[in-house]
Amino acid sequence: VRTFEHGKLELVKVSGGGSVGRFTLEPGWRWSTDVKPLAKTELCQSIHFGYHVSGRLHLRLADGHEYEAGPGQVVTVPAGHDAWVVGNDPVVLIDWAGATDYAKR
pLDDT tens digits along 58-71:
999 999 999 999 99
Q: 17-71: per-residue pLDDT in tens?
A: 889 999 999 999 999 999 999 999 999 999 999 999 999 999 999 999 999 999 9
Q: Which residues make Cβ contacts (< 8 Å) with residue 53, sequence separation at least 6?
A: 71, 92, 93, 94
Domains and CATH numbers, the chain: 2-95 (2.60.120.10)
Query: What is d(CA 91, CA 76) in angstroms, rounded to the nearest whole number?
Result: 16
Whether 104 has a pLDDT exceeding 80, the answer reads no
Look at residue 3 in the predicted model and tell me its pLDDT.
93
Is pTM, for the whole model, over 0.85? yes
Look at residue 15 in the predicted model and tell me its pLDDT.
86
Query: What is d(CA 52, CA 38) in angstroms, rounded to the nearest whole number?
Result: 24
Give the distance between the most distant pair of CA atoms in the chain: 38
The kind and range of the H/E element at 93 are strand 91-95
Higher local confidence (pLDDT), 99 or 46: 46
Whether 76 has a pLDDT exceeding 90, the answer reads yes
